Structure 1
Amino acid sequence: MNLNHLRHVVMVYRMGSFTAAASELNVSQSSVTKSVAWVEQALGYALFDRRARGVSVTEAGRNFIDRAARIVSDMDRLAADTAAGRGERSAILRVGVAPPSLEGLLNRAIRMLLREPNQFRLHMQASSTPKAMALLSQGDIDLLVGPTDELNREQSFILEDLPDFVGRIFCRRDHPLLIEKKVSEQQIRRYPIISPDLSAPLVEHLVRTVYGVDSGYVHLHIIDNFPMVASIIENTDALGVASSGFARTRTFLDKFRIVPNTVDHPLKLSVARRARWLPSPPMALFLKAVRRFPPN
């Protein structure tokens, strides 16, 4: 019993005759007649009483047709929703960012992407790397910007490498550390550090190498809001992590300084997509923008 059989049965009930149902469905009357006969044979009872001027539903047939009508309606709605979703999905570029702290570093690329009017909408969402990778695997996002080492673990992804993100430890301009001629790791450990994301490999590396402890260190604070972090560091002795690119800007140098004798902490980044998907025009535009303005 297939959907066409049910559709024919329901239409006969609604129109009151085989002829009218066939006309409404734009099929032959014999096709409708055969469908009804097939269903009645499968059920083992008659759905309609045949009369000279049409048909009437039997008592046994009424319950079946009520359920069949709901099934036909649900399937029509499903088809309509799927078609609408397909059209909407093709007009939306869904980009994932992991870890969330990278999101703010895509400002220039997004400005470039949206500078010219495009026939698509951009949806960006930030999440942890494992969750974002699951979303890409399931097809819930189109592209994912994240750490190369993590993304390489999924064989179904195709990666395009971006320049490394290089993190530097920074402080306010008049921080006590800047008075020292040479800053040791022991001196750095006296001060709290603020990181945007505990899950970032960069943070784990920094905490272990500079602080010599694990991520449960009491002086490590996670705040994923750079304006707030900047305000805290500007007014306290706390230390933060900024990209080397930002550390060269006038905005940064007006208020902050890189802590002397601290090494760079590079994090390899890539843009991933599903291997079985060809890049759509919106995806190609995003890749062009992020190549020109990588998150570093």
Structure 2
Amino acid sequence: MNTTQLECFATLANTLNYMRAAEELNMTQPAVSRQIQSLEQELGTQLFHRTTRAVSLTQVGAQFLPEAQSMLHTYYHSLDWISHFQNTFHQVLRIGYMDTQAMPLLTAFLRPVLEQQEKLTAEFTLDQTDANLQRLVSGKLDLVFTIKDAKFAHESVVFTPLHEERFYCVCRKDHPLAQKKKRKRDKSVSSEELLPYRQIFDIPPYLLKHVFSRGHRILPVNEEQDNIICANASEACALALCGSGYVLLPDYLLPAHKELAVFSWPESPVTQLGIYSLKTSLADKKSPIYQVIREARAYYEDMAAN
């Protein structure tokens, strides 16, 4: 059974006249007759009563007509949406990231690429870095924008470093530490100056055990304080805004809020910010993945130059 047979059947059922059906279908009468006969043979039943004067549907033909019309409708509807899909198809660049605070930076990288490629769009996955890296390995993500994970290694994945990140102290402007610094007109803090105050830690749950294991300290910790642990920078900044303490954040996650003060921390450790991607995806310099990484590197090169 094919659409030509169904078209001939439906048209003849509507006109009950071979000449008119042939005209509507832009076919010859014998061609229409052959299509009807082949359909009847395939179905094993007669669909029309034919005489020298008239054509009429058999009982089976009348019952089959709605089915034939439904099949034709489904076929042409499928053609329409497939054509629409091909004309409006957008390639999706799937990006994993860990904190909403990073979105302004991500858009700075993405915007030039999306503007150049009208049929390219981005899809974001907000999750912990370890989960997003597993998605990258399994082909569910194209890029992961994050701080380098010292525990992660996979032969198919490459890390492109973008910037060496230092940590900054963030707290409310009316926090005692900020008030003290304001009086001294000092824009930096020392580790010793931080110890008397409650700290809000921005540590993803999967790194908690690793960060607080014996002998492993990335940030200064005064365990005598009633410190707070958060899963991401957004939560930590929200608590800082509430006056709950100070938080040490890398440069790329620093908030822009009029009620928050930011101080440099000269003793800060250095960590690498970059993009994870599959090695194979970087082979094509015209690929969106390669272009986003290129834009990200150019962004930081411009910052360094200025």
Structure 2 residue 217 is matched with structure 1 residue 210: yes
State the distance in 1 between where 2:233 and 2:253 align.
17
CA RMSD of aligned residues (A): 4.9
Shift, 1:250, TM fit: 11
Map 1:126-275 → 2, pairs under 5 A: 126-128=125-127, 129=132, 133=136, 144-146=143-145, 162-164=160-162, 166-172=164-170, 174=177, 178-181=189-192, 191-194=199-202, 209-210=216-217, 219-223=228-232, 225=234, 229=237, 232=240, 235-243=243-251, 255-259=261-265, 261-266=267-272, 268-271=274-277
Instruction: Tell me by how many angstroms 1:72 deviates.
Output: 1.1
SS at match of 1:45: coil
- Taking the aligned partners of 1:29 and 1:279, their CA distance within structure 2 comes to 58
* SS of equivalent to 2:45: coil
Contact 1:94 1:124 in 2 (8 A): yes
Percent identical among aligned pairs is 16
Contact 2:97 2:145 in 1 (8 A): yes
Distance 1:165 1:151 in 2: 19
**Contact 1:8–1:36 (CA under 8 A) maintained in structure 2:** yes
Aligned residue number for residue 26 of structure 2: 26
TM-score by length of 1: 0.65
Unaligned runs of 5+ in 2: 172-176, 181-187, 220-226
Stretches of structure 1 that go unaligned for 5 or more consecutive residues are 213-217
**Does the C-alpha gap of structure 1 residues 267 and 286 become closer, same or farther in structure 2, counting only changes over 3 Å?**
closer
Contact 2:167-2:268 within 8 A present in 1 as well: yes
Separation of aligned partners in 1, 2:126 and 2:244: 29
**What number of residue pairs does the alignment pair up?**
270
In the TM superposition, what whole-angstrom CA distance separates every residue of 1:195-220 from its partner, at most 9, and x where no partner exists? 5x657x8x8865664379xxxxx932
Q: Which has the larger radius of gyration?
A: 2
Tell me which amino acid in the other structure corresponds to 1:11. T
Q: 1:290 to 1:191 in 2, by over 3 A?
A: closer
Q: Tell me the equivalent position of 2:97.
A: 99
